[in-house]
Structure 1
Amino acid sequence: MREPKLALGPDLVKLIAEIDEFKGRWEALKTLSPDRLHALRKVATIESVGSSTRIEGAKLSDAEVEDLLSRAISIKSFKTRDEQEVAGYAEAMDLVFEAYADMRLTENHIRQIHQTLLRHSDKDARHRGSYKTLSNNVVALDADGREIGVVFETASPFDTPREMEALVAWTRKTLDEEALHPLLVIAVFTVTFLAIHPFQDGNGRLSRVLTTLLLLRAGYAYVPYASLERVIEENKDLYYKALRRTQTTLKSETPDWEPWGGFFLRCLKKQKDSLAARLDHERIARSSEADLPGLSIQVLEALRAKERLTIAQLASITDANRNTLKVRLRELVADGRVRQHGKARATWYSL
């Protein structure tokens, strides 16, 4: 792999400095209770799973993703392709969140994550965790799904093992030697990985899981609490344009890393901005709770701990009169602090 030469303009240097400043402030900002941090991470995970799978064509909404994941333990098999991809992505993310400290970037770990990612995908059973054996160029399709041309030519099956070995070796060496800022190393890894397209399927989803792994290993500990995938989904057209603009130059003597590097850093900025805004909202909400009735404060604390509760559950937790509890819940809903879901006996509440 040719050594990347990245000349950063002042805007990109400023972006890196801003992201690193938030990385340093995270420990001080992380003043929420463990239960609330868990709730933030759960929301971010649902957003990440939903967005990353929708980028690749899945149709499940965040609400459908949440419902599926809440039932995943009791579901023995997932019927639709979308459900299989959602379940696999969630398990791959969980694997990275729990084991990233011991999961150094290696080809074996990449294959392991790919295997987890496609664990529930019936049609991918033969090639889970194995590099591709057939060409998988990025192609354009017509309205009927027929191929009408090659958008980008990926590495051949023959060249893939050699190119992956070189990419992983360069990434590890550059990170270990601190020869380049880690955010730039991760950007180069991601765009090159997607240019190789090493697996028959699942490369886009896998690239986003690997990005999370590398960010966590580089010390960006706030990453699980805000969805980078959601930012990419909201800027999907720019995502593909930035990838192609850089990828079409990779075989030249002077690859142009700027389009993808700039897009990647701007997405990271939006990700940390989203988390900072949520934390600010939490602090403002807590500071404004001082004048609320005691029962209302109990309800809010219970919902922070449990995320979703029925009136019966809230009555048990708070030991309050149900009629009084209903009054307080109506006030909290009207005030925008609590959301009501469902009707009649199926009613439940969340923050």
Structure 2
Amino acid sequence: MIRSDAVHITPEILALIAGIDEFKGAWRALGTLAPDRLSALRRVATIESIGSSTRIEGSRLSDRDVERLLSNLQIKSFTTRDEQEVAGYAGVMELVFSSWQDIALTENHVKQLHRDLLTYSEKDAWHRGNYKTSTNSVVAFDEDGNQLGVVFATATPFDTQPLMTELITWFNEERAAERLHPLLLIGIWVVVFLEIHPFQDGNGRLSRVLTTLLLLQAGYAYVPYSSLESVIEQSKEAYYLALRQTQGTIRSDAPNWQPWLTFFLRALAEQVRRLNRKVERERLVLAALPELSLQIVEFTREHGRITMGDAIRLTGSSRNTLKQHFRALVERGHLEQQGSGRGVWYELK
């Protein structure tokens, strides 16, 4: 039985929830961003999410690699395991973004999402969409994809089915009863799901997909526009530590939810902070930049970088005119210059 009555609400947890919910309300009232700007934000966030979530599990593909792969998804032929994982994650993310209202939290839907997540992964064909049949442990990887060691043991295959039934029943009952704040409820769901580790592989990636699904269903509509996975990737040590501290206590009479919930809420707060910064930049750009500079910034946001050659092809303007715009954009803090001579390129600051 999941003892959610033992949640210790610290002042920090309260403050984090208040800040996240304040942004949630502000986002709902935000009508100033044009649809094409929202679309650009979502594309960047999606690339970051796919890249980060697969790298947490040992993939070596950069965000640039992910972007290239996404532009060729229609080929449906991916030679490496990393490419197969990225393609599967992209498909599931798109499904969640487009159909979150229709995906009830049931064991069948969780299994279906797992199957879709691994749909291109040849080595996972034997187990996708099915609970594990042999013991698996949570393993941490460093930034080079090397295994750092076992983080914690997980549920046995024998216990997995009843524990998943219990977790999903508990979540749906608690969500209906509204006894716990949605963010606390989702946080507990994630950490128990990872403690069970119900599938042979893909549990970490699936947990982050399900987090996005449950946040959208709880009304956090801004989630697709800022990458939570990127925040987690950049604080992996704290992520694994918080998991370990809480997961060792889950089956005890006094589960300690606080380490994980504090990490989870801090990550959500950082996701909000990054999106807020992007929105403010959008407003600044839209309000103050000449059309030519705006085109340069938009191209850079879409593609991650821009060269003088890109700008000439994009705008049809002369090199001298564009030099003035690049100089102004660098001086005003919109772009950062990289490289030198003929190899100069620019990225968002």
Normalising by the residue count of structure 2, what TM-score does the alignment of the two structures yield?
0.87
Q: Which residue of 2 aligns with 1:328?
A: 321
Q: Which residue of 2 aligns with 1:77?
A: 77
In structure 2, the CA distance between the partners of 1:130 and 1:32, relative to structure 1 (3 Å rule), is: same
Structural mapping, 1:73-222, within 5 Å: 73=74, 75-138=75-138, 151-222=151-222
In structure 2, the CA distance between the partners of 1:155 and 1:70, relative to structure 1 (3 Å rule), is: same
In structure 2, the CA distance between the partners of 1:202 and 1:327, relative to structure 1 (3 Å rule), is: same
Please tell me whether the aligned partners of residues 231 and 267 of structure 2 are also in contact (alpha carbons under 8 angstroms).
yes
In structure 2, the CA distance between the partners of 1:91 and 1:341, relative to structure 1 (3 Å rule), is: farther
Structure 1: segments with no counterpart, 5+ residues: 316-321
The amino acid that maps onto 1:188 is I
State the identity as a percent. Answer: 54
The amino acid that maps onto 1:51 is S
In structure 2, the CA distance between the partners of 1:181 and 1:146, relative to structure 1 (3 Å rule), is: closer
Q: CA shift at 1:104, angstroms? A: 1.4
Distance 1:338 1:92 in 2: 33
Distance 1:182 1:47 in 2: 25
Q: Which residue of 1 aligns with 2:52?
A: 51
The amino acid that maps onto 2:43 is K
Distance 2:169 2:85 in 1: 29
- 1:8 is paired with a residue whose SS is coil
Distance 1:338 1:106 in 2: 46
Larger radius of gyration: 1
Q: CA shift at 1:305, angstroms? A: 10
Q: Which residue of 1 aligns with 2:35?
A: 34
Q: CA shift at 1:214, angstroms? A: 0.3
Q: Which residue of 1 aligns with 2:24?
A: 23
Q: CA shift at 1:149, angstroms? A: 8.0
Q: Which residue of 2 aligns with 1:278?
A: 278
Q: CA shift at 1:333, angstroms? A: 2.4
- 1:254 is paired with a residue whose SS is coil
The amino acid that maps onto 1:40 is L
Q: Which residue of 1 aligns with 2:255?
A: 255
In structure 2, the CA distance between the partners of 1:31 and 1:280, relative to structure 1 (3 Å rule), is: same
Deviations 1:290-341 (A, max 9, x none): xx4x6545x35974997686634534xxxxxx43xx3333223222356899
Q: CA shift at 1:278, angstroms? A: 0.7
Deviations 1:102-123 (A, max 9, x none): 1111111111111111011000
Q: Which residue of 2 aligns with 1:2?
A: 2
Please tell me whether the aligned partners of residues 311 and 322 of structure 2 are also in contact (alpha carbons under 8 angstroms).
no
Give every structure 1 segment of 4 or more consecutive aligned residues whose post-TM-superposition deviation is greater than 4 Å. 145-151, 294-297, 300-310, 337-342, 347-351
Normalising by the residue count of structure 1, what TM-score does the alignment of the two structures yield?
0.87
Aligned length: 335
- CA-based RMSD of the aligned residues comes to 3.1
Q: CA shift at 1:251, angstroms? A: 1.5
Distance 1:190 1:85 in 2: 21
In structure 2, the CA distance between the partners of 1:255 and 1:332, relative to structure 1 (3 Å rule), is: same
Q: Which residue of 2 aligns with 1:318?
A: none
